[in-house]
Amino acid sequence: MCGIVGYLGPQDAVPILLEGLARLEHRGYDSAGLAVLTDAGAVRVAKRAGRVRDLAAGLPKRFAGHLGIGHTRWATHGPATDANAHPHTDASGRVAVVHNGILDNAATLRARLAERGVPLTSDTDTEVLAHLVAAATADTLEEKVRQALGQVEGTWGLAVLHADHPGEIVVACNGSPLILGVGNGEMYVASDLAALVRHTTRVVMLEDGELATVTADGFTTSTGKGAQEIDVDPDSYEAGDHESFMRKEISEQPSAAESVLRGRLDERFGTTHLGGLNLDARESRAVRRVKILGCGSSYYVGQMGAGLIEELARVPADAEPASEFRYRNPIIELDTLYVAVSQSGETVDTLLAVQEIRRKGGRVIGLVNVVGSAIARACDGGIYLHAGPEVAVASTKALTNMFLGFALLALQLGRVRDLSVADGRRLVAALEQLPGKMKEVLDTEPQIAEIARELSRAESLFFVGRVRGYPVAREGAQKFKEITYRHAEAYPTSELKHGPLALIAPEVPTVAIVPADELTERNIGALHEIAARGGPLVVVTHPEVDLTGLDVRRIDVPRSEVELDPVLLTIPLQLLAYHAAQELGLDIDKPRNLAKSVTVE
């Protein structure tokens, strides 16, 4: 949930570190800091609460060095203060550490250090690492770090520099990713490709439990692995002409949809090609249940996916928050297919759930966006989402491609069972048309923006939908609350009269999902109940739905096949949240208290 950068080479490290931190600020932005090893052999540290721009503006004069590490923080232990910002140093100031993750036994270690008279200057768990490295008796910096890590429990991605070991940075990871970038006579360290792509496309992705010693001339890892070339467009990490990354990523949904569908649709047999699943037809037929695990938006789109799988494959399917899964000692069934969903492929709750399933002999596949990520590596197979880099904290195009990934999976599972070739071809044709229909939805943005400005004045909102529409409503409420900071709650439309209807009032708008399906009339009946109590209504619906007699703000989306309608109904809710947040003057890409990749429990 934080960002790490590092540099060793002939250039001044500070501008490179600041640029890298700015590119990682979506991963943590309540404080930032740098540590450099000067040519005179001293470790100099600058850090402060606030954004990277605040750090850059306050840097001391002649703050320079050819080796350095930097960090953007998302607070876990202690509030966002200058003292709690990374890097952290030992008492002598000769060791500096940046760290992502959580040390579970930090309180015990802090107490031991205090008993020994070691001064602790922050509230963080990370500070103990600097003191443990400084106290280690090994000769090399890598062994000092290894000794220190032998005393801690938890997760880490960390980078360490030491004044007594000039010319090298030692990095280690366990449950929190780190990447090495290989340049020409210079090396880079980062927790995300975004910080590296402007400098190099040769990278090393460290495995859990791995340590590496990095010098300007190269690196050595504990596993002896080498670098690989990655295919990435650096411009994809830029907002370009868009006022925010979220706005850019909303507009990229049609092209992202084309990418995830490309080469995977089989019109002749009405099915899909998903070789990455590592499931043949016999194994697919042996699946008796599907369990989907994700967090936040990934959980809500998992609910949409579960509905798709039940409809098309006629296999029981459900979704569950990955953050709760392993703590209830789940029963792992060998004929259940588990599906882990994560944009980053780093979400620690989901990764730990995957590890628990694998430990108990279950089969798990991943729907992830980042190639080579921890969850992708931990799964038995999967579907890469091919949405391209997603920088905004609020997920849009990756979420859309998650839905399409579930559609591809459901169609393949259905066709090895009882789904007819005619129905398969019907759905393949509809999937091919979805990118164009997404463009039609985006064309209605001016009307949606006007409605969003009205909704921005409400302190609390309801989002409601039934069956296929309910997870759409849940995702809509999630988007609205996370970037507008307004209270937004989702309910099944049928549950309104079982309690929530008491809160309906003129100052509490309801955003209702009302597709043209077998439940349209029942949904319209609920709208009348809301209107009778003075509740303002925004209805996301299809053009043929007749809302005569109701005073509503209407948003029409084009029809697809009924099973695929949820993905088109979701896009207006993204735009409602975006334009409401814009009207409120909020930082849309970096909502308060949140980070893009949740790599701590």
CATH number at 3-236:
3.60.20.10
What count of other Cβ atoms lies within 10 Å of the Cβ of residue 133?
26
User: How do residues 357-414 score in pLDDT, each as one tens digit?
Assistant: 999 999 999 999 988 888 998 999 999 999 999 999 999 999 999 999 999 999 999 9
* E strand or H helix that includes residue 18: helix 13-23
Q: Is 379 annotated as catalytic?
A: no
Of 2, 173, 295, 379, catalytic: 2
User: How many CB atoms lie under 10 A from the CB of residue 77?
Assistant: 16
- Whether residue 586 contacts residue 484, with contact meaning beta carbons closer than 8 Å, is answered with yes
What b-and-e string marks burial along 92-102, b requiring 16 or more CB atoms within 10 Å of the CB? eebbbbbbbbb
Encoding tokens for residue 500? 């929530």
Q: Please state, in angstroms and rounded to a whole number, the distance separating the CA atoms of residues 422 and 295.
A: 35
CA dist 10 and 216 (Å) reads: 8
Radius of gyration of the chain (CA): 25
Residue 2 appears among annotated catalytic residues: yes
Angstrom distance (rounded) from CA 144 to CA 139: 7
- Ranges of residues in the chain with a pLDDT under 50 are none
Question: Residue 156 corresponds to which tokens in the numbers above?
Answer: 């880490």
The end-to-end CA distance of the chain, in Å, is: 10
Residue 16 amino acid letter = I
Which residues in 401-476 belong to E strands, given as ranges? 460-465
Q: So what's the pLDDT on residue 599?
A: 62
Return phi, psi of residue 181, to 5°. Answer: -110, 130
Query: Which residue in 144, 481, 590, 596 is the catalytic one?
Result: 596
Q: Do the first three CATH levels of 3-236 and 239-440 match, i.e. the same topology?
A: no
Domain ranges of the chain: 3-236, 239-440, 444-589
pLDDT at 600: 64
Q: What is the rounded CA–CA span in Å between residue 62 and residue 81?
A: 24
Q: What local confidence, expressed as pLDDT, does residue 458 receive?
A: 96
Domain at 239-440, CATH homologous superfamily = Glucose-6-phosphate isomerase like protein; domain 1 (3.40.50.10490)
The residues, any chain, with a CB within 8 Å of residue 36's CB and separated by 6 or more, are 13, 14, 17, 43, 44, 63, 64, 65, 67, 68
| Residue 585 buriedness (CB in 10 A; 0-12 / 13-18 / 19+) | exposed
Q: Using alpha carbons only, what angle is made at residue 272 by residues 267 and 273, rounded to the nearest 5 degrees?
A: 115
- Tens-digit pLDDT profile for residues 518-565: 999 999 999 999 999 999 999 999 999 999 999 999 999 999 999 999
Contacts of 169 (CB under 8 A, 6+ apart): 6, 8, 67, 69, 159, 160, 161, 189, 213, 214
Please give the pLDDT value at position 289.
Answer: 97
Separation between Cα atoms, residue 203 and residue 230, nearest integer Å: 7
CA–CA distance, 489 with 272 (Å, rounded to integer): 36
DSSP tag of 103: B
Give the count of beta carbons closer than 10 Å to the beta carbon of residue 458.
Answer: 17
Q: Which fold has domain 444-589?
A: Rossmann fold (3.40.50)
